Structure 1
Amino acid sequence: MRPPSASRILAMLAIFAAVVPAAASAAGTAEVSNSTVASATVRNVSGEVLGTVRFYMIHRKTFVSGRLIGLSPGFHGFHVHAVGICDPNTTDPDGVVVPYLSAGKHLDLEGAGHPQHTGDLPLLNVSADGTSTSITQNDKLTAAALFDADGSAIIIHALPDNFANIPTRYSVTGPDAETLATGDSGGRVACGVIEKVRV
């Protein structure tokens, strides 16, 4: 069987992007809140808009979709973080600027290690032209989780997330505390405050 062409793949993605909100709208049950539950405008440290990440809740699952530009090619860690503040000039306790440290750690309502945090998502795969289209589902990201007292944010990291996969042939002790916290995905290169969307 011949693989689908690039144009067919793009068409399929477009259809999925249209079907997700339509399905949520049509369901009209207690299991579905709104078509679009939330949206985040993602910016880099210079304030440039890279795109939008949207959250759709359908039948107790949240679908996360994003179309982003201006990122470095390759894989990037991609997570929901616990605080809805995207300050690129945040400083750490030593006075060092750490972009988007204001967004806190990974959203983790269950006190689990990485990659079982509430806000852990699959990697973003960025093409050579700096673009990325991502669609995934998550059954932990409820509206209550996204919109607790201090809100939440979507963060894109500089490096790939290893999902704390440290085989014993590399380390007899397994992943250390930093790996269990972040997946060694490096600095935070982009951020978007997750906000409710009314439809």
Structure 2
Amino acid sequence: MPSPAQTKYLGGLETARSIRAAVSDYRLRPMPRRQSQAFAHAALASLVASWDAYLNELVVNFYTVTACPGDPAFHSLHSIAQSESANICKRFNTPNWENARDLLLRTTGFEPTPCWVWPARHMAGPAVRERLNEILRVRHAFAHGLGIPSYSWNRTPTGRVRLNNSVLRDVESFFNNLVRRTDDGMKSHIASRFGGTSPW
């Protein structure tokens, strides 16, 4: 069963999918390349925003399921940690792998990087972490009017950099895997540290 954060993430994907659909909507043809790229950039930004929101919501979920108001000493410490974590989340931005890891580790004690693999694409941890940072660099580039960096996943065999439906679907699959793996890891972390039952 997914966490409430993952459920919200999945709901948020609809925005990215709707924007992405405009890129290939035949009713909008012919669409100038500049306009189609604007839709593609917006779809990618929406996917990154969904990942960012998921991380913040997962921290909230952690404190919800680990609360124990019946134990006054624990509850006092828990409340202080929850308040400090809320402040950390407010300052959180740029959800690259380093910042995402630091957020979860500092607020919940969960080290997510061992979970961040993508077996279906034969990507071990370092490759997944690098792909996450590449996606963030692409988003950063178009957000600031810079040229889009060229990576193996956004480049045609002829070397042309593109952000199209195929690339956006792949980025969505990447984030779906990352969220699912983070969720499973957090679930195990909570069960092992705070009791043997599944938190959600």
TM-score by length of 2: 0.24
Q: Which of the two has greater strand per residue?
A: 1
Q: Which of the two has greater helix per residue?
A: 2
**Structure with the greater alpha carbon radius of gyration:** 2
TM-score by length of 1: 0.24
